[in-house]
Structure 1
């Protein structure tokens, strides 16, 4: 029998499991290799460093999260975009804890390959483009005040609403959606009136 073959995704999944159990700071090359039963050389054949592995873990997680958010914005449904955070957190509780209870800087460190840096930059630009599109749709323009409202209602309120539940390892209850929706309507309605819509 030959040696088992390991893919990049196998190493990312092992890192994800360790990060979920102990936090991203506890992920080491040795622990990832042990978890897979893989030689360390197999790790370094695929990743230049632990930082690159953690960067890939963060990027794959944020891209998975962003799919539903971007789709809601592209469909012109800002409320669905705001409610995406609790919905996704219920479906993917471990990934939600990784993404929402840790800073990007807990993952994104060191020298990264150009492709990974590009991926991080592209996802950030995609998110900012969604905020700008929503600001124009909801408030008539994408100036600083409108972008601040968009960030608050689409990102800050939903994350704040689910964070305590994720820390307690419980799914966000339906009340969270009601609170997000009420806040969304209050801000969007007042912003629309202020914009003269």
Structure 2
């Protein structure tokens, strides 16, 4: 039996390239298979739908982004974790725009492939573990109030700060780092 000419990663990379070049709306089964020179059946052999592929692309992108965030938390540097979002968005502006396609909560419902749901759950657990660790180390415990503060300062503020720039396909300016830093220090204080 011969080796398949294409694998899942080929389709995900083709979708990423199309989304970066022309936006997520340009990612269709036809545009992906044309880019690869693959038959449509090859696509449907791997993915149930365009949405399933975009979900896989989102997860792949989140995991790439999350590496630096997790490393900063593991190093005990919450500010670096908060600043990772604009730094990564500047280095990977088009990829960062793909993160706006979904949130992890989108995968809790619906007819998503089981493997994709598991991957998103694993990613969410790593993120939650980081929030818990930061809350314990910074605020002394990881109760509901401390976790809300951790989520706000490490995730919500940085994402809100870069969202408009990403929607306009602009890298976030350095001013964003200054504003995130001031917010971080206002919330975390000298703890």
Q: TM-score scaled by structure 1?
A: 0.85
- State the 1:23 CA deviation: 4.4
C-alpha deviation, 1:116, in angstroms: 1.9
Show the 5 A alignment for 1:49-64. 49-64=49-64
Q: Deviations over 1:22-81 (max 9, x none)?
A: 544553212211222211122123223323212211110110010000111011110000
What corresponds to 1:77 in structure 2?
A: 77
Shift of the 50–169 alpha-carbon distance from structure 1 to 2, 3 Å rule, reads: closer
Distance between the aligned counterparts of 1:81 and 1:161, measured in 2? 14
Which residue number corresponds to residue 127 of structure 2?
A: 127
On the 8 A contact 2:58/2:102 being kept in 1, the answer is no
Structure 1 range deviating more: 138-147 or 16-25: 16-25
Output the TM-score relative to the length of structure 2.
Answer: 0.88
Q: For 1:37-186, list aligned pairs within 5 A.
A: 37-99=37-99, 101-104=100-103, 108=107, 110-186=110-186
User: 1:87 and 1:168, CA in 2 relative to 1: closer, same or farther beyond 3 A?
Assistant: same
* Uncovered stretches (5+) of structure 1, i.e. residues with no partner: 193-197
Deviations 1:66-122 (A, max 9, x none): 0000111011110000000011001111111110x3333798575333322211100
Which consecutive residues of structure 2, in runs of 5 or more, have no partner in the other structure?
none
Alignment RMSD (CA, Å): 2.2
Paired residues, number: 187
| Contact 2:104–2:120, Cα closer than 8 Å, also in 1 | no
CA distance in 2, matches of 1:69, 1:7: 29
